Chains A and B, each alone.
Chain A
Amino acid sequence: MKNNTNELCAVSDSALSTVKPKYTVRQHDEVWELSIEVPGSKKNDVDIAYEDGILDVRVRRSDDIPDTWRPINFVERPREYRLCLDVPESIAADKIEAKLKEGVLHLDLPVSEAVKPLAIEVK
């Protein structure tokens, strides 16, 4: 799975408001597991789109700082995470499943039945 460099998906480095999140991909025979680090986000903050082989994941951050807190040292946080990946044709895009747990978005990308390795029985 490659990073997509499509202009629409481009994340500008200068603008801290949207950043590319850290992610890992684990490839298994049946399913690819994609984990994306999105601390500070809730289920309703997640938008996942798939079109023309591009998986576009946008996650807003909703961990607001209370108004009464005065910053002593404020480490700038992104407002949104965005990750675009080229998904190979072997992935059954209509069967992608996602869940958000402890600030990590987990996506299961199942491999299409057609390309799964076949075990051929010897008769």
Chain B
Amino acid sequence: MKLARYHNSPVTNPLSGLDALLGFPSTGLSPLWDIATRLSNVPWDRVVMGQGAPSLFEDDENYYARFEFPGVKKEGVAVELTGNQLAITVERGEDNVESRSVTVPEGVDPEKVGAKLADGILTVTLGKLEAQKPRVIKVK
């Protein structure tokens, strides 16, 4: 499995302009973006080539994107993160190449991206930048 990272071409949240107008911070999963995707039931990924939108999860440390790729060996999978655009290229054979591309939330640490393939399911783990992690504030 190849894992490539690029830092030089940030892809912006399509709603970031609106967010800025409304005074929302421009980092992270913006409130509008979040609300829009939840309300409309529009898949979180805006650009999906091929079939099968991934599921996206988070915990305090990471985001997790899960894709279904039955019949694919790990040698045939390439994962690339460019800005907050995650591109997965899957090769099943000579003439069978499939690409999926999704926008991931902002605030991912490009140094902390990992991928695992098991039973036809690819899980990409995207570590959150320190600023994205919840902070516990002690009351003095």
Spell out A's residues near B (CB within 8 Å).
35, 37-42, 63, 65-66, 68-75, 77, 101-104
Contact = CB atoms under 8 A, between A and B. Distances in A.
Given A69-B58, A74-B56, 5 more contacts: A40-B120, A65-B57, A72-B57, A72-B63, A104-B71
Given A73-B43, A75-B43, A102 B71 contact: yes
B124 interface: no
Given A41-B119, A63-B119, A104-B120, A69 B59 contact: yes
Tell me the interface secondary structure of chain A in the complex: loop
Given A37-B71, A73-B37, A75-B53, A103 B63 contact: no
Nearest to A70: B58
Contacts of B80: none
Interface of B: 29, 34, 37, 43-45, 52-59, 63-64, 68-73, 105, 117-121
A66 B57 CA distance: 10
14 contacts: A39-B69, A41-B119, A69-B58, A70-B59, A71-B56, A71-B57, A74-B56, A101-B71, A102-B72, A102-B119, A103-B68, A103-B69, A103-B71, A103-B119
Contacts of B53: 73, 75
B27 to A, nearest CB: 16
Nearest to A45: B119
Contacts of A39: 68-70, 119-121
Which one of B34, B52, B55 has the greatest number of beta carbons of chain A within 10 Å? B55
Contacts of B34: 72
